[in-house]
Amino acid sequence: MNIVNLFKIALKALSNNKMRGFLTMLGIIIGVASVITMLAIGQGSKNSIKNQIGEMGSNMIMIQPGADMMRGGARQSASSMETLKLVDYESILNETRFVSAVSPTVNSAGQFIYGPNNTPSTIYGVSPDYLEIRRLSIGDGSMFTQQDIIAASKVCVVGKTVVDKLFPNGENPIGKVIRYNKIPFSIIGVLKSKGFNSMGMDQDDMVLAPFTTIQKRVLAITHLQGMTASAVKEEYSEQAINEISELLRRNHKLKPGVEDDFNIRSMEEMLTTISSVMNMLTLLLGSVAGISLLVGGIGIMNIMYVSVTERTREIGLRMSIGAKGRDILAQFLIESILISVTGGLIGVLFGGGLSLLITLAAGFTTYVQPWSVILSFVVCTFTGVFFGWYPAKKAAQLDPIDAIRYE
């Protein structure tokens, strides 16, 4: 028996029952489409978070006071949160090889007022290096200088959101004086807009000022709430962390074996963590979708099984005119493979379309991975063979005499 004829026979049988074939296919279509879409959503959000972090600076390093909360767990006293001092900043600034930039961070959130307008935002006390570290840039005016740091000048650089809120009529904000906590800050620059990041955070909702100004005039503290730094390159994050860690231990006079009273995290490390979380999520979404593919496969088995019973006489006739058991087996297998592969093809198109629609309509980044398409096809063919096998085998083993007499 040649395979071309078997295909013709199987196609003919399917076209005799188009509606049923389509309904059976629907299970596979939905299964494959959801696998493709889920994986596309998973991969898409992973990519966009990665991009976002890359934009923020993948070589960024964050230094926080206090022992590592993740490891310690216990609540820490107020004094343990004041371990980072100005000397630490100066050490990092002057004594490292793998750190290209460093800035203290002291933040305060509150209301900003200009004339009758006011808006809530956060003021970040930083050094000029902060721009480089966070990949920010000045759109208009200029950044404050080392001079302003030393003098603790009441100057600031504002983000676009703050500008829009305080100057709704489009006035030039440069040179204007806004108030925060009754302290007047004169605006010397405006940040270039960065828009929202993938986690929905407005990156333009910020005000930058010299950290000394915030320390003295706003918070009245002498310690630093934290520091941000940049490794010379992303690959050197590890070395940079080690360097900083050694410096801080030395400055804090920590004996060997004593736990750090600060903790350092790099973006690279966060990226790995986020990636693994996203991978888990993708796997989860994918397996839920995979289950629907399985259900689709069982649908094929179900229909093929009914079909064999319903077509017992046809099978008997085919055998009586010379079809061998293996011809019958092949016919039913080809039928189920045709259903599953066609379903898979439609499912891939459907899933791809759905992903595109999600991107267009919901603004969600999706990315259809080529391997997920190939995988779907392999799985579909396998599904067809696997779930078609049992009914086909049953058909092939029918006794021709019983089959042809079957009522």
Listed ranges 247-255, 290-298, 323-331, 353-361: which one lies at the site for other proteins (CB under 8 A): 323-331
Select from 246, 3, 226, 275 the least CA-distant residue to 126. Answer: 226
Residue type, 252: H
Binding of residue 5 to other proteins (CB under 8 A)? yes
User: Please, what is the angle between helix 86-95 and helix 237-251, to 10°?
Assistant: 130
Using the minimum distance from each CB to other proteins, give the nearer residue, 29 or 396: 396
Residues near 393 by Cβ (< 8 Å), separated by ≥ 6? 329
* Interface with other proteins (CB under 8 A), residue from 317, 341, 346, 385: 317
Indicate the SS3 state at residue 121.
strand
* Interface with other proteins (CB under 8 A), residue from 170, 322, 363, 370: 322
Using the minimum distance from each CB to other proteins, give the nearer residue, 16 or 111: 16
Count CB-CB contacts under 10 A for residue 352. 17
Binding of residue 20 to other proteins (CB under 8 A)? no
At 188, list the tokens: 């010397």
Using the minimum distance from each CB to other proteins, give the nearer residue, 317 or 341: 317
Listed ranges 9-17, 49-57, 200-208, 274-282: which one lies at the site for other proteins (CB under 8 A): 9-17
* Interface with other proteins (CB under 8 A), residue from 12, 97, 192, 233: 12
- Residue carrying the six token digits 């398409």: 373
Residues near 291 by Cβ (< 8 Å), separated by ≥ 6? none
Instruction: Dump strand ranges (E) for 20-94.
Output: 60-65
Q: What track of x and - describes contact with other proteins for positions 69 through 108 (by CB under 8 A)?
A: ----------------------------------------
- Cα(83)–Cα(64) distance, rounded to whole angstroms? 9
* Interface with other proteins (CB under 8 A), residue from 324, 357, 362, 374: 324
Q: Are 295 and 32 in contact (CB under 8 A)?
A: no
Q: What track of x and - describes contact with other proteins for positions 36 through 55 (by CB under 8 A)?
A: --------------------
- List of residues contacting other proteins (CB under 8 A): 1-2, 5, 8-9, 12, 16, 313-314, 316-327, 400-401, 404
